[in-house]
Amino acid sequence: MVVVTLVTYRVKVPRNFRLLEELEEGQKGVGDGTVSWGLEDDEDIMLTRWTGMIIGPPRTIYENRMYSLKVECGPRYPESPPFVRFVTKINLNGVHNSNGVVDTRAVAALAKWQNSYSIRVVLQELRRLMMCKENMKLPQPPEGQVFSN
Amino acid sequence: MAESSGTDPTVDSNVVENAAKDRTMIVVTVKTPKDKEEIAILEDSSVAQFKEEISKRFNAKLDQLVLIFAGKILKDGDTLNQHGIKDGLTVHLVIKTAPKATSGSTSQNSASSSGTPQANSSSSASSPVPNASTPPGTGPAIQPPNLLSGFGDLSSLSGMGMGSANFMELQQQMQRQLMSNPEMLSQIMDNPLVQNMMSNPDLMRQMIVTNPQMQQLMERNPEISHMLNNPELMRQTMELARNPAMMQEMMRNQDRALSNLESIPGGYNALRRMYTDIQEPMFSAAREQFGNNPFSALGGNLDSGVQPSRTENREPLPNPWGPPGTAPSESRGTGSSTTTSSNGGTAPSVSSLPNPLGINASGLGNGVFSSPGMQSLMQQISENPQLMQNMLSAPYMRSMMQSLAQNPDLASQGSNPSADVSPSQQQQQLMQQMLQMFAGGAVTPEVRFQQQLDQLSAMGFLNREANLQALIATGGDINAAIERLLGSQPS
């Protein structure tokens, strides 16, 4: 049941198909093993709420830490980018210090979102940000803390 | 009878074994950033049991293991079923290394405290260092060998790896950090203690020698031990090491010189040979060398002089400017006059190298190359073009040179303006040189690929032109060239 839009001549994959695909990828460990993602609740038929995990890149201050995130794919996903917020406390440019919400404008993948992007892309981009010079040495809160709310 | 399959002999044996609880084995892939393993486990196992299997397979302790599936951390008390882990799925594993070994991140929060245990372990291994470094000034009253404790981030690299078990790692980390952050480097170098230490050649020598890798290297390559025994050389290298910007500059210039020499006819192949001969040992060992000492080899020794260019990927292109008179191209002549004027301290002795490219050791590198060691090397090199060719043959060098040529900014950006002697203008000129050289083509490919051409014609590829083209395209790789030829030959 492929939906072809008359305007764009492009096959537009329905949202749920996409998300199911991403779910499968998450379970199969597609990618380099440094990020992981999956449904927050397996019963979530709308496939909206996801949890993500980023393994802190080596040789940075985030090394050896695991950062948990919440990703919310709205009804217009993948046309619109998902909402991402960190659960584990982190000090990273582009992440609100108070609640862990990731600023859409700060992350290239979110700011210039394309519908070919995916949750994995976002997580990997965040991980890449951790390796940037401006971030890789930021002092971090002690392990285990989470953002309130 | 049909129901109690457990006792029915006609039932499949598998079923008999699992019949009691209908359990099945599933195969789950466990992936770390480095590798992956497939682990068979009962479907209804708990995470704890799963971790047991994993710890056996990966040789890690249970509490070092962190399992992640679908973005969630698996807690010991959960079951695989709970998380929906089924046959064929992948679970991510992170093996937490002990905090001490990973230095970096953990110790940054507790600079002194983590620095201490390391310093302890390292201090025992190196006798001269603690003595030399007892004077205060290192920072918050930590062990003497903890030279870097004053510098925040580098505190974890305390002891500068004085022969401690973590020597290699510390070294690597330090180098990495130093490379990436020039300010840090200059900070360290400015530390009077460091300077003190560095000006003591014996100390440096000792530090280098205690590196097991260096020891290996020394066995294989006795020239290196000669090099280490030459105090003059050590001192020079220390000068270099002291000033990281100078070091960068020197490396760049050295590279420029090297690539220039490539164009000496006939030398290319020999250089390549030489390079491969010494490539391996030095490459791996030189990485471990303290304070980027590859140049110490460069100074005093023809053979091992090749390695520095090999080890430092950011090697620059040689300064094509020679003294007026021997310079082959006019533009180089103008360049060199600027260079030589700025080379206040260079020895004029080497000005008349019988070198078609006019690579003058004293003219090289904006004053930094003035070390007599470097000059003698360049002299030797120019007299033995083979050496140079070998040095340059590394494919990466070509691509690097090309990229440098294409991006003049790159070269001029490398040097740290604060300590540098050379104006960036010279570098711009240099880049143009390089461009010219590349555009004009170095040694005639024909000469370069003579050997390969012969081989190809022996194989039956009689079209010399085509062979040559193919060889040029593949950079001398016979196999690739053959493929090209076969692909383009009209059938």
B219-248, pLDDT tens digit by residue? Answer: 666 666 666 666 666 666 666 666 666 667
SS3 content of chain B, % helix, strand, coil (to 5): 65, 5, 30
The residue of A21, A63, A118, A131 whose CB has the most chain B CBs within 10 angstroms, and thus the best one to mutate to test that interface, is A63
Q: Answer yes or no: do B104 and A38 touch at CB < 8 A.
A: no
Yes or no: say if B225 and B288 are a contact pair by the CB < 8 Å rule. no
Can you say how many angstroms the Cα of residue B470 is from the centroid of all Cα atoms in its chain?
31
Q: Answer yes or no: do A27 and B89 touch at CB < 8 A.
A: yes
Q: Answer yes or no: do A53 and B72 touch at CB < 8 A.
A: yes
| Residue among B219, B218, B192 nearest B205 (CA) | B218
pLDDT digits (tens, 9 = 90+) for B25-47: 899 888 887 888 888 988 888 99
In whole angstroms, give the CA distance from residue B316 to residue A88: 44
In whole angstroms, give the CA distance from residue B259 to residue B397: 8
Q: How far is CA A17 from CA A4, A24, A45, B141, B338, in A?
A: 14, 11, 12, 62, 67
Q: How many Cα atoms occupy the beta-carbon half-sphere of A63 within 13 Å?
A: 20
> Across the interface, which of B70, B105, B109 has its CB nearest the CB of A39?
B70
Name the minimum distance, in Å, from the CA of B431 to any CA of chain A: 28
What's the Rg (C-alpha) of chain A?
Answer: 16
Q: Answer yes or no: do A28 and B89 touch at CB < 8 A.
A: yes
Q: Answer yes or no: do B91 and A29 touch at CB < 8 A.
A: yes
Q: How far is CA B343 from CA B7, B236, B365, B421, B488, in A?
A: 96, 17, 9, 9, 53
Yes or no: say if B347 and B378 are a contact pair by the CB < 8 Å rule. no
Nearest CA in chain B to A37: B71
B71 and A CB contact within 8 Å: yes
In whole angstroms, give the CA distance from residue A121 to residue A2: 24
- The question of ipTM being above 0.95 is answered as no
Name the minimum distance, in Å, from the CA of A8 to any CA of chain B: 33
CB burial of B217-237 (b: ≥16 within 10 Å; e: otherwise) equals bbeebebbbebbebeebbbbb
Q: Answer yes or no: do A59 and B108 touch at CB < 8 A.
A: no
Nearest CA in chain A to B35: A33
Tokens of B369: 């190359």
3-state secondary structure of B353: coil
B27 and A CB contact within 8 Å: no
| Residue among B247, B102, B122, B95 nearest B169 (CA) | B102
Structure confidence at residue B152 (pLDDT): 39
Residue in the block written with tokens 């372990």: B121
Residues of chain B falling short of pLDDT 50? 1-21, 100-167, 288-312, 324-371, 373-374, 394-396, 404, 407-423, 435-442, 491
> Across the interface, which of A38, A69, A139 has its CB nearest the CB of B70?
A38
DSSP-derived pairing of the beta strands B90-95 and B25-31:
parallel
Q: Answer yes or no: do A53 and B104 touch at CB < 8 A.
A: no
What single DSSP character describes residue B79?
B
User: Stretch A85-101: mean pLDDT, rounded?
Assistant: 91
Structure confidence at residue B154 (pLDDT): 40
B32 and A CB contact within 8 Å: yes
Q: Is the pLDDT higher at B302 or at A11?
A: A11
What residues contact residue A125 under an 8 Å CB cut-off, 6+ apart? A107, A108, A109, A110
In whole angstroms, give the CA distance from residue A83 to residue A97: 16
| Residue among A35, A23, A24 nearest A124 (CA) | A35
Structure confidence at residue B181 (pLDDT): 57
What's the Rg (C-alpha) of chain B?
Answer: 30
The residue of A22, A53, A66, A67 whose CB has the most chain B CBs within 10 angstroms, and thus the best one to mutate to test that interface, is A53
SS3 of chain A: CCEECCCCCCEECCHHHHHHHHHHHHHHCCCCCCEEEEECCCCCCCCCEEEEEEECCCCCCCCCCEEEEEEECCCCCCCCCCEEEECECCCCCCECCCCCEECCCCCHHHHCCCCCCCHHHHHHHHHHHHCCCCCCCCCCCCCCCECCC
Structure confidence at residue B421 (pLDDT): 40
- Which residues does residue A51 pair with via DSSP β-bridges, in sequence order? A38, A70
Nearest CA in chain B to A139: B109
